[in-house]
Structure 1
Amino acid sequence: MRKKIAIIGSGISGLSAAAYAAKKGNEVHVFEKNGSPGGRARQFKTDNGYTFDMGPSWYWMPDIINDFFRDFGYETNDFYDLTPLNPQFEMIFSDGTISLPKNYEEMKILFENLEKDAGIKLDEFMEAAQYKYHVGMKEFVNKPCHNWSEFVSLKIAKSAFKLDLLSNFRDYIGKYFSNAKLKALMEFPVIFLGASPKNIPALYSLMNYGGYVLGTWYPMGGFYELVKAMKTVAEVQGAKFHFNHNVEKLNTEKGKVRSLTINKEKWEFDVVIASSDYHHTETLLDEKYRNYSENYWESKTFAPSCLIYYLGFKEPITRLKHHTLFFENDFDKHIDAIYTNKNWPEKPLFYACCPSKTDAGVAPENHENIFLLMPLATGIKDDENTRERYLHEMLQRLEKHTGTPDLQLKIDYKKSYCARDFISDYNAYRGNAYGLANTLKQTAVWKPSIRNKQLSNLYYAGQLTVPGPGVPPAIISGKIVATEVDKLKTIRHEKVI
C-alpha cells in the first residue's frame, strides 16, 4: 500500500531512506532544518573562492557506496569521478613519518622495513579482515536488529569465531605487530568509532581492509558530490525535499504519529522516519512515548565531538599530502582525555586534510584549502579563546612538518566549528560528531531501536542506531529502515483538523 512518508533530516541516512522509500512508490517528503542537504556532510563556499566539505573526508568502502547507486540502476561514475590517493595518507610521529602507499605490495614492503616478517603478518591480518568485511558489511550490518534471532543463520553461526567479536582491537593488533608505529597505523581507523582500541571489538579490523586494501579515494569536487548524487537519485524516485523546514513537534493519537508541526504548521503523514539526532527526536514527543530516558542516554558511550578549523591559505604549502595524521604525542593520553577525563587534551593528536593537493577547484589558484580536525570529548565547553589556542598549536606543528613559517600570517579565510556548533546545526546530543561508540555492549540489538516501542509508525535511522557511525553504515541504515517501513501495513488516517 502506498504510504505518505515524512523523513526528518537530509543527512546520509535520510537521503538513503528517501531514495529507497520513494522507489517503492511511496509519497516521500524530506524535511531539513538547514538550507542544504547532507547534514554533517554539507559543504560551503566562501566569497574568496574556497569550497569546504564540512564533515566526512575519508572515502572508504567504495563498493558499499556503489551498491547504493546500483540498487537504482546507476554506477558511482554516473555522478562523479573518484581519484585514488597515493599515498593514501601520511602519519607523523615524533621520530619520523609513515606514508601509506596505494599499492598493496608496496605496503607490505613498508611494513617489512619497519618490522621483520611484518609483510607476511600483514597478509595474514588482511586475509582475516577481508573475511570480516564480507560477512560484516554484507550480512551482519544489514539486520534491523529487533532481536538476536536475526543472527541465527548457518553462515553467521559458522562465522562467529572468525569475526572475533569477543577480542578487543588493541590485543588483536598486538598478535600481529610489535612495532609501535605499525600498531598506531593499524589502530588509527577505529579512533572515530568512539572508544579506545582496548574497548572496540576486533571485528572492526574490517575497516583496515575497507580502507587500506580497497583504497582511499577522493570524489572530485569534494565529498559533497556524494550528497548531491544521492539527492538526485531520491528525486528521480519521486522524493520531495523541503529545506529550512524545522520539525518542532511529533503529534500523536491512538498509538501513532498523526502529524508533524513544521515551522508552526501541521503536516499529516502515515509514517515518520527520523534520521535526525535520535535523542533530539525523542524530545519532540511526549515523555511517555519516548523509547529511552535521559538516564539511558547519559549512560551511553558516545563517539567524540571535535574541533574543526576550515582554513584558506594564500600560497601553496609544500610537503603536505591530501590526508595527514599528526601522532607525535601519546595516543592513549588523548584517548583518556576524550573518554575518561572528558577535558581538553594537553598534548593533542589531530588530522589535516588538504583537498587542494588533489582538486584545484576547491581553492583559488596558488592557494591552499585545509581543514584541521582534533577529536574531543562530548559535552565539553568550548569558547573562541580555547579554539584559537589549539589552532595556534596545530599550526605550529604544521609549520614544523612542512617547513613553512608564519602560517598564521598566510591565512585568508578562517572558520572554526566545535561542540556547540554541532548542537546548534544538528541538535547533536552533547555535541557528538560521530554518534554512538561501537563498543561490544553497544552493538547490534544493544543499539537504540530503529522503531518506536509505543508508536507503530515512527522509525529511526542514522548514526545513533544500527548499524552505527560512518558514511557507508549511514547509507545502510536508511535502506534498513525503508525496508522495515515497506513491511508496515498502513491505512491512511483521517484528516487532522
Structure 2
Amino acid sequence: MNKTVNIIGSGFSSLAASCYLAKAGYNVTIFEKNKTIGGRARQLIKEGFTFDIGPTWYWMPDVFERFFNDFNKKPSDYYTLEKLNPAYSVYFDKDDFITIEDTLSKISIAFEKEESGSSIKLNKFIEEAKSNYDVAIKDLVYNPGISPTELITPTTIKKINQFFSTIKRDVRKEFKNPRLVKILEFPVLFLGAKPSDTPSFYSFMNYADFGLGTFHPKKGMYQVILAMENLAKELGVNIKTEETIEKIIVENGVSKGIISNGKAYKSDVVVSGADYHHTETLLEKPNRQYSENYWNKKTFAPSSLLFYVGFDKKLKNVNHHTLFFDVDFDIHAQAIYDNPKWPDNPLFYASFPSKTDKHVAPKGKEAGIFLIPLAPGLEDTPELRETYFNKIINRFENLTSQNVKESIIFKESFCINDFIKDYNSYKGNAYGMANTLMQTAFLRPKLKSKKVKNLFFTGQLTVPGPGVPPSLISGKLVADLVTKYHK
C-alpha cells in the first residue's frame, strides 16, 4: 500500500508539494477550507469582470518553467503567457510618470533622460544583480534552510559583504535622482521589508524586474493555479474543498493525520501549506515549536487593503501595472514597520488587467485592482476602508487627469479581517515573513517540525520566503524533505 500524505491548504506551495509527492509515489490528499482552491491566489468574478484576489505580478518565469519541467511539462501546456510592454509605469506627480519598458536597453534610455550617466551605472548594477540571481535562484533558494552551511559556497564567500550592506545603501551610493532611487528600491518590497533592512544580495529582484521582465498569463494569475490543479490531478492527487482542519492528530510524538469537519483522516505524513502560526495552534502546546512571543518579535511583511473595482468605461493614462509614488515612501514605511498605524498619505499600486486581457472585463469596460500596503494587526473597519478608498481615488483622478468616480459600477474590498477569516493569516499579513538578514534561509521557521515526527510545513512563512516563485520552490523543498526523512 502506498504511503499517504494529507496536505493542509491549496495555495501555490501546497499544490507544488502535492505534485512532487505524488510523483514520488505518495497517495496525496489536499484539504482546503474555502470553496475554491488557490489560497491567496483565488478569483473574484462579478458582473462579467474577473479579478485576481491575490498575486497579480508574474515575475521569474524561469522558476515556473523549472517547476513544470520537473514533470516533463511546460507552462504553455496549460496557459498562454504574454510579456508586458510596458512592464509598468510609476507616477510621481500630476501627469508626471516614468514608464518601464520590456528591455534593459529601453529602460536605460529612460534612466539617462532622468539622470545623465545613470544608464552606465544601471547596467553595472543589473550585471551584479544578474550574478546574484544566478547564485540565488539556481542554487541557494533550493536549499531547505536546515543549516548555515547552505549559504557557504565559493561564490557566496566572494559576495559576503552583500549580506551586511543593504539595498538602500547600494542604490543611493550610485543614483542621486530620487525618482530613479524609488524605482530601483521598489522590487525588494515584494520581499516584505524596507530597502534599508534588505541585504544587498537581494538585488537579484532588480534583475527579475529589468532583466527578465513582467509577464501576464492570459485570463489572469489564477490560470497558474488551475494549471497546477490539472497537473496534480493528472498525477493522482485528490483535492477536497470546504474542509476546515480542527486538529493535527499526534500519537507518541508522531503525526498520524488530521481532523477536518469533525472527521479523522489518517495519514503517514502531514504537510501544512496553511499559515504556519495557525497550523501550530492545531497542535497541543507541547508539540508546538514556536511560542507566541517568537511570532510577535518577527518582522512580518505588510498586509494590504485591496479594492476590486468595475468601471463602465476604459481608463486613460494608466498601464496594466501602475505605481503611485507621489508621496514620501519613508513616512509610509514607518507606518508599516516602525510605528504601526494607518498611513496618512499612502503609496498605492493599481492593476488594470483589462488593458492587456480582453477576458477579464466586458467590452468597453475596465477592471481595476487597487492595493495599499499596511502594517499587519491594525484595526480594520468598513469606515476606514471607505476613507482610504476616497483618499486614493481622489489622488488617482488628479494624477491621471481623468474623472472615474462616476464610472464605478461596483467595488469590493479585502483587508486585514479578510486575510484572517479566509486564510487564518497571522495578524492578517498578506505576504508572510519579511526577508531581512535575521530572517533569511536557516533563520526562518523550519520546513520540518522539530517536535513532531512526519509533520512538515511549506509556504511563505518558511523558506525561501514570500512571493509566488518562492512558494513553488518551497513546495519542492518540503517534498524533498518528506521523501528523505519519512521512512
* TM bracket, shorter-chain basis: over 0.9
Residue 147 of structure 2 is matched in structure 1 by 147
Matched, 1:125 2:125: yes
Q: Is the 8 A contact 1:28 1:239 kept in 2?
A: yes
- Which moves more between the two structures, 418-427 or 170-179? 170-179
Q: Distance in 1 between matches of 2:417 and 2:105?
A: 44
Amino acid at match of 2:21: A
Q: Distance in 2 between matches of 1:168 and 1:90?
A: 25
Give the secondary-structure state (helix, strand or coil) at the position aligned to 1:93: strand
Matched, 1:74 2:73: yes
- Which moves more between the two structures, 185-194 or 465-474? 185-194
Amino acid at match of 1:412: I
Deviation, 1:105, is 1.1
Residue 273 of structure 2 is matched in structure 1 by 275
Q: Distance in 2 between matches of 1:388 and 1:233?
A: 41
Give the secondary-structure state (helix, strand or coil) at the position aligned to 2:163: coil
**What pairs with 1:239-388 in structure 2 (closer than 5 Å)?**
239-388=237-386
Deviation, 1:238, is 1.2
CA RMSD of aligned residues (A): 1.2
Matched, 1:427 2:402: no
Q: Is the 8 A contact 1:192 1:304 kept in 2?
A: no
Give the secondary-structure state (helix, strand or coil) at the position aligned to 1:133: helix
Deviation, 1:154, is 3.5
Residue 25 of structure 1 is matched in structure 2 by 25
Which of residues 476, 480, 488 is equivalent to 2:477? Answer: 480
Deviation, 1:155, is 4.2
1:42-84, Cα deviation, whole Å (9 max, x unpaired) = 11211x1010100111111011111101111111111111111
Amino acid at match of 1:294: E
Matched, 1:54 2:53: yes
Q: Distance in 2 between matches of 1:281 and 1:401?
A: 44
TM-score normalized by the length of structure 1: 0.96
- Which moves more between the two structures, 145-154 or 61-70? 145-154
Deviation, 1:447, is 0.4
Which of residues 374, 393, 396 is equivalent to 2:394? Answer: 396
Residue 493 of structure 1 is matched in structure 2 by none
Q: Distance in 2 between matches of 1:401 and 1:217?
A: 25
Q: Distance in 2 between matches of 1:28 and 1:132?
A: 36
Residue 464 of structure 2 is matched in structure 1 by 467
Q: Distance in 2 between matches of 1:451 and 1:351?
A: 36
Long gaps (5+) in structure 2: none
Matched, 1:236 2:234: yes
Q: Distance in 2 between matches of 1:316 and 1:123?
A: 36
Amino acid at match of 2:405: Q
Matched, 1:415 2:412: yes
Residue 114 of structure 1 is matched in structure 2 by 114
Give the secondary-structure state (helix, strand or coil) at the position aligned to 1:175: helix
Q: Distance in 1 between matches of 2:174 and 2:229?
A: 42
Q: Distance in 1 between matches of 2:150 and 2:437?
A: 17
Q: Is the 8 A contact 1:448 1:466 kept in 2?
A: yes
Dislocated runs of 4+, deviation >4 Å: none
Using a 3 Å threshold, how does the CA distance of structure 1 residues 195 and 151 change in structure 2: closer, same or farther?
closer
Amino acid at match of 1:451: K
- Which moves more between the two structures, 220-229 or 95-104? 95-104
Which of residues 433, 438, 444 is equivalent to 2:435? Answer: 438
Deviation, 1:221, is 0.5
Q: Is the 8 A contact 1:317 1:402 kept in 2?
A: no
Q: Is the 8 A contact 1:319 1:401 kept in 2?
A: no
Long gaps (5+) in structure 1: 491-497
Deviation, 1:152, is 3.8
Amino acid at match of 1:423: I
Aligned pair count reads 486
Amino acid at match of 2:381: D
Amino acid at match of 1:456: K
- Which moves more between the two structures, 331-340 or 138-147? 138-147
Give the secondary-structure state (helix, strand or coil) at the position aligned to 2:369: strand
User: What percent identity do the matched residue pairs reach?
Assistant: 45
Deviation, 1:159, is 4.5
Q: Is the 8 A contact 2:256 2:270 kept in 1?
A: no
Q: Is the 8 A contact 1:111 1:182 kept in 2?
A: yes
Amino acid at match of 2:267: F
Q: Is the 8 A contact 2:59 2:208 kept in 1?
A: yes
Q: Distance in 2 between matches of 1:146 and 1:304?
A: 26
Q: Distance in 1 between matches of 2:121 and 2:417?
A: 43
Deviation, 1:403, is 2.3
Amino acid at match of 1:173: V
Residue 86 of structure 1 is matched in structure 2 by 85
Q: Distance in 1 between matches of 2:433 and 2:444?
A: 8
Deviation, 1:254, is 1.1
1:377-416, Cα deviation, whole Å (9 max, x unpaired) = 01001111110111111111221233222x2221112100
Q: Is the 8 A contact 1:307 1:419 kept in 2?
A: yes
1:215-240, Cα deviation, whole Å (9 max, x unpaired) = 11100100001110011111111111
TM-score normalized by the length of structure 2: 0.98
Deviation, 1:158, is 4.3
Q: Is the 8 A contact 1:248 1:261 kept in 2?
A: yes
1:306-337, Cα deviation, whole Å (9 max, x unpaired) = 10000001111111110110110001000000
Q: Distance in 1 between matches of 2:411 and 2:307?
A: 7
Amino acid at match of 1:150: E
